Structure 1
Amino acid sequence: MNLQEQGLSDQPAHLTEHGITVLLVDDQAIIAEAVRRMLAQDPEIRLHYCQDPAKAIQMALDVHPTLVLLDLVMPDIDGLTLAKFFRANQKTREIPLIILSSKEEAVTKADAFAAGANDYLVKLPDKVELIARIRYHSNAYIMRLQRNEAYEALVKSQKALTKELNQAAEYVRSLLPKPLEGNIRTDWEFIPSTSLGGDSFGYHWIDDDHLAVYLLDVCGHGVGAALLSISALNSLRSQSLNYVDFRDPSQVLEGLNEVYQMEAHHDMFFTIWYGVYNKAERDLTFSSGGHPPAIARTGDSASTAETVLLNPGGLIIGGLPDQKYQKSTLKLASYAKIYVYSDGIYEVPRPEGGMFHLNDFVGLVTRLCKEGDASPRQVIEAMRRIQGKEMFEDDVSLLEVSFL
């Protein structure tokens, strides 16, 4: 090693390599030479020397030491003042400092620690002790660097993941249908949870007389659930299930169950409610695969309408092969509307304890309908008041279809 003002090593220190790098700040070159000789036999320790204390901070910024050996008594700037400078600088405040001094008084040592020193050595110490202390403090600092680097990488990864999940949620939202106007009107709210989930829904005309309405909910959260939800949604929108009459809800669910068996889709399943409105006959035929029942309000007028639960029963989609699904039909009166939803809207905790249940939710929708304002937005606002917070723990989907 050649003793140089700019450093004893021509190679820059790289903290990511976790090498031990020592910066010695001492106005006496003879002390620097003595330290160099003590460390020369340890190839894992890289030594840099700064004779001018006024340049110590800048040199530390350049060489990135894992430890600073700091002389206590120097002209212009003493070691205690320089230690305070190191601690005041954001980029050097965590670097371990060992004060080197010929003084052994307890008060001097206390002042050094008060100024920010990590250790105190009476110079010149034994070589074995010096190397041991350098290794101890440097290794502790390197572990802190590793922790900080790991944390920064984790934060970066989480930000990237959050961005991707938000983009995926926006893509799912872009697939949702535009509201219908006219004799059949639709309104809906879709609120994804903090983690990407598997809710999706839609409606489309199968032909001039038949309107399909459906909502599905994939188990779990994350990209896998969203992808399965999108795939099933596309199967319905494109009517791509083989040998299925999409005007027959039971056939649709049986076709979905055949294609989306759990074994072929990472043990994921989904629930679905699927209904078909016959415009000419004014009836609604529907089937369910493990999904909460749709809520129908039908009668001669809004004030006289009755609440009917549309729940023919049925197993989840993907649970068992060759599963048969039942269908039911409801004749709609002159006033009729239905609500199709995911369970995330009503499976919420009450602030006073206990859970809100399906029957409670049906009662809430019925009451709001009688009061004249049961739009999806108003229903969700009511549920927020019930749970006492803005965010839901699960995805929330609520679709209202009015038949005029």
Structure 2
Amino acid sequence: MSPAGETFPRPRVAIAEPVNHDRVSAILAGKQIFDDGAGAEADLSFGRSPEDFQHGNRYQLCLIPQESSREWLGALVRLNCNYFIESFDQIDLRDLGPIRTAQRGAKWDLLVCMSTQSAYQLPMARKFVTALRHRGIIHDTIAPTVEMAVQEAFANSLVHGNLELDTTGHLTMDRFNALGEETARRLEAPAYGGRVIMLTAKKRRNGNVEISINDQGNGFTPPPEKPAPKLPGSESTFGRGLPLIRSLCQNVSFERGGRTIKLTFTPDTKASMPLNSNFAAGVEEAEKAIGESDLRNPRDATILIADDAMISREIIASYLRSDGFTNLVFAKDGEDALEQVRKHNPDLIILDIIMPKMDGYAVCKALRADPAYAETPIIAQTALEENEGRTRIFEDGATDLILKPLNKAELIARTRIHLENRLLVKQLQAYQERTQSELELARDMQEMLIPKPEQYRGIGLDYGMTISASFQMSSELGGDMWGLAPIDKDRLGVYIVDFAGHGLGAALNTFRLHSLIWSEEDRGEDPGTYLEALNRHLKGLLPVGQYATMLYGVIDRAKETFRYASAACTSPVLGNIKTGSTVFLDGSGVPLGVIRDAQYETRELTFTTDNFLLLYSDALIETVLDDGVFLEDDRLLKMVHNIVTETNGSTDLASNLADQFMDRAPVKLHDDFTVVSLQSADISGPKAS
């Protein structure tokens, strides 16, 4: 009964089996879901898969079993239902319920309510956004953007909200392991793992889509949007992804004391696609052109008719001309056929098997032996009745076989099919060759951005340093780059960049950033300010979702310092040639191109003639070696220490490290590999023990 006294039909509820029926009864009997008590009289339907429920039925609610939640996430897409709730013993919606009444019309276009324990193990953001796409709530063009924002907000609410985990500080391997153990303990504890996390989505009349993520933690005070957000300190564990979320949404707001994050997306957020949209559109147009160009109009193709009987040649020609084929070439025997093929390079050959001088079998063999004609379609024609002859012509290379006397409709149909296939293959080959040529050009251009040995060695001598480097492009076109920027007689700038992704998009972004690096002035004043300027320019050039990690630093030989700023770069290694000691520097920071007004800290440390600096791309630490593990953390430091010790402070540290890495890495790297070392040229290193 509604407040106005209007009576509504019993709600229809889908029960996903296997499920605890007593638990279902208890949930429906309460008022957390149906605040008017209508759940106790709900019309229940049971099924073991989404297909067990009639799509024509509209369900107000689907209860998902805790035991098999992963399998039932597909129901979000395939079941005609707006509300999905996990059925588990500790369910307590508290101020999140009631979430549904018996009134007509759902409050939410989609609602998913899960326990923390289950949600932590499931790809919730991906499934939720997929369901929104299939329901027409969001368009495919903004789906990647929405998923990225929802994933960040969902992770914050799950980890920092319901689990109340503190993830601030430097994440060492020991801390990472301890954090994993604590996470497992809290997931098993009802006080944390039994809390509810809820995602809701609603499309408004103005076309905007509102998505909220609701947790049951203790809440938080969100960092202010202005001034420009920085990475949070120990005062708040929330917010590592908040600047990214804000950059992806039209608006972000907080309710319920910070326990609800509300995201608003506009329907025209096409610029937020995490792709190089211009390149993607170009490829799409090229593929479209290939798919439409002449494939249904092959009449301009050159057709060779090879037959020793003139009457047969004329009959075949008349059939073809009647269907619009006019570019016909003729051959009176096998030898003449080969001559005409070399002269006209036909798109299709109609070949008689029994001919003087050279029969059709020999012609087929000769053509297939020549790479230039190995793919040319050949329709053999024969009056032979025995199967042996027909089988042999295919073995010798014929594409198809048609029997004499020829049937006009059959001849034309087979001619069309083979010409369409031929033209399609030729155009795809041309497109592939053009694309490969463009990729090779981009690869050559990218390699031109990398300093040559004679260049960086010469610059090193100018500063009394030895500079060593190794760069290997991956099997895919990547986005790595490094370089040197001489400032004055004492100061030398050095940078290393890694763009996310592969292919032409990553390469084009590398070219953009390289131009910005050399167009920006004041490279030597303050590395943090310099990165901020680069980031502002890059943010305006990149679609949302594309970004770069970068480190820029200045070695001052007179002051014996190294001042640097990092945008989420791999942690540099600082070492001592004489002692062989090594330590990681802080590489944290906001990636370039994510937040327009991001700020970057300038860090300063002592860099004497005893020190060396090692910069590297993430391929060094994210490639699985032959023993099945990564070269990271203490293992990397130990390898560097051993190289310094065993080579007595070799001035070719980067090359030595690259050699050891390549010995144990796969032949084909999936990411660009870069390693650079800088040290004084007149150092006598430690003696090998």
When normalised by structure 2's length, the TM-score is 0.46
Aligned residue among 603, 614, 618 for 1:339: 614
Deviation at 1:227, TM superposition (A): 1.3
Aligned residue among 88, 110, 127 for 2:366: 88
Is residue 304–residue 341 contact of structure 2 (8 Å, CA) maintained in 1?
no
> 1:55 aligned to 2:336?
yes
Instruction: Summarize the alignment of residues 33-44 of structure 1 with structure 2, pairs less than 5 Å apart.
Output: 41-44=322-325
Distance 2:558 2:327 in 1: 88
Distance 1:328 1:92 in 2: 65
Which whole-Å deviations, capped at 9, do the CAs of 1:108-133 have from their partners, x for residues lacking one? 6566666666425243x5xxx23313
What amino acid sits opposite 2:350 in the alignment?
V
Percentage of matched positions with identical amino acids? 15
Instruction: Summarize the alignment of residues 209-288 of structure 1 with structure 2, pairs less than 5 Å apart.
Output: 210-220=490-500, 221=502, 222-235=506-519, 238-239=521-522, 246-257=524-535, 259-267=536-544, 268-288=546-566
Instruction: Summarize the alignment of residues 5-404 of structure 1 with structure 2, pairs less than 5 Å apart.
Output: 17-19=299-301, 21=303, 23-27=305-309, 29-31=310-312, 41-44=322-325, 50-51=331-332, 54-62=335-343, 64=346, 66-70=348-352, 72=354, 76-77=356-357, 81-89=359-367, 90=370, 94-101=376-383, 104=385, 118-123=400-405, 125=406, 129-173=407-451, 177=456, 178-181=458-461, 184-194=464-474, 195-206=477-488, 210-220=490-500, 221=502, 222-235=506-519, 238-239=521-522, 246-257=524-535, 259-267=536-544, 268-298=546-576, 302-304=577-579, 306-311=581-586, 313-332=588-607, 335-371=610-646, 372-374=648-650, 375-387=653-665, 389=667, 393-402=671-680
Distance verdict in 2 for CA 1:403–1:337, change over 3 Å: farther
Select between 219-228 and 88-97 the one with higher mean Cα deviation.
88-97
Distance 1:277 1:52 in 2: 79
Distance 2:516 2:349 in 1: 60
Deviation at 1:369, TM superposition (A): 1.9
What amino acid sits opposite 2:522 in the alignment?
Q
SS in 2 for 1:202: strand
SS in 2 for 1:187: strand
Of structures 1 and 2, the one scoring higher in RCO (CA 8 A, sep 6+) is 1
Deviation at 1:23, TM superposition (A): 1.2
Distance verdict in 2 for CA 1:360–1:18, change over 3 Å: farther
Deviation at 1:21, TM superposition (A): 3.4
Deviation at 1:344, TM superposition (A): 2.9
Distance 1:67 1:183 in 2: 70
Distance verdict in 2 for CA 1:138–1:401, change over 3 Å: same
SS in 2 for 1:140: helix
Is residue 289–residue 314 contact of structure 1 (8 Å, CA) maintained in 2?
yes
Distance 1:131 1:337 in 2: 79
Distance 2:336 2:609 in 1: 88
- The match for 1:11 is none
Deviation at 1:296, TM superposition (A): 1.9
Distance verdict in 2 for CA 1:37–1:389, change over 3 Å: closer
Distance verdict in 2 for CA 1:234–1:358, change over 3 Å: farther
What amino acid sits opposite 1:173 in the alignment?
P
Deviation at 1:99, TM superposition (A): 3.0
Distance 1:366 1:157 in 2: 44
Segments of 5+ residues of structure 1 without an aligned counterpart are 1-14, 241-245
SS in 2 for 1:26: coil
Deviation at 1:17, TM superposition (A): 5.0
Select between 171-180 and 281-290 the one with higher mean Cα deviation.
171-180
Is residue 70–residue 100 contact of structure 1 (8 Å, CA) maintained in 2?
yes
Distance verdict in 2 for CA 1:399–1:53, change over 3 Å: closer
When normalised by structure 1's length, the TM-score is 0.74
Deviation at 1:185, TM superposition (A): 0.4
Which whole-Å deviations, capped at 9, do the CAs of 1:30-62 have from their partners, x for residues lacking one? 555555666664444666554556534334545
Distance verdict in 2 for CA 1:255–1:130, change over 3 Å: closer
Deviation at 1:147, TM superposition (A): 0.8
Distance 2:320 2:343 in 1: 21
Is residue 193–residue 393 contact of structure 1 (8 Å, CA) maintained in 2?
yes
SS in 2 for 1:316: coil
Distance 1:50 1:171 in 2: 56
Figure out how many residues of one structure are paired with residues of the other and give that number.
368
What amino acid sits opposite 2:336 in the alignment?
K
Which whole-Å deviations, capped at 9, do the CAs of 1:201-247 have from their partners, x for residues lacking one? 214244x5x524332314234332221331243146x437xxxxx33
What amino acid sits opposite 1:349 in the alignment?
V
Is residue 23–residue 50 contact of structure 1 (8 Å, CA) maintained in 2?
yes
Distance 1:188 1:163 in 2: 26
What amino acid sits opposite 1:328 in the alignment?
R
